[in-house]
């Protein structure tokens, strides 16, 4: 992509971000936050273009860190009559708690 196309795309994205924030009644948002949004949008856009040029797939979404089930969740599962030994993550615990509450 040539520099003039990148510059034009940057301006277009800035206008879009500004319009979206204005539409959401965020006219007074800090200019640094707007710049950060533009930077992130351009980074994603350019990564997509580079991957297309290389013939590769888009990068995978970053994986969320798996948090272990909390002691409170495990105790609640036990109180509900479930087996807290089968639960490893906070997400699994939440799902089991919802099932046991039914």
Chunked into runs of 10 residues, the chain (102 residues) has average pLDDT values of 74 77 71 76 77 66 75 91 88 90 85
45 and 12 in one domain?
yes
85 and 46 in one domain?
no
What confidence score (pLDDT) does residue 86 get? 87
Tell whether 81 is covered by a domain.
yes
Which residue spans within 1-102 are E strands per DSSP?
none
Q: Measured between alpha carbons, how far is residue 93 from residues 21, 65, 67, 76 in Å? A: 37, 15, 10, 9
Which residues form the domain of 17? 3-54
Number of domains in the chain: 2
Q: Note whether 18 and 30 are within 8 A (CB).
A: no
What confidence score (pLDDT) does residue 72 get? 92
- List the one residue out of 102, 73, 78 whose CA is nearest residue 90: 73
Tell whether 59 is covered by a domain.
no
49 and 8 in one domain?
yes
Tell whether 65 is covered by a domain.
no
Does the reported pTM lie above 0.75?
Answer: no
């Amino acid at each position: 992509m040539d520099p003039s196309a990148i510059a034009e795309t940057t301006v277009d994205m800035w206008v879009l971000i500004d319009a979206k924030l204005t539409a959401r009644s965020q006219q007074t948002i800090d200019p640094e936050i707007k710049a950060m949004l533009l930077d992130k949008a351009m980074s994603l856009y350019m990564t997509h273009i580079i991957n297309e040029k290389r013939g590769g797939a888009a990068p995978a979404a970053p994986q969320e860190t798996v948090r272990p089930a909390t002691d409170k969740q495990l105790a609640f599962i036990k109180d509900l009559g479930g087996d807290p030994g089968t639960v490893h993550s906070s997400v699994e615990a939440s799902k089991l708690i919802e099932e046991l509450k039914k």
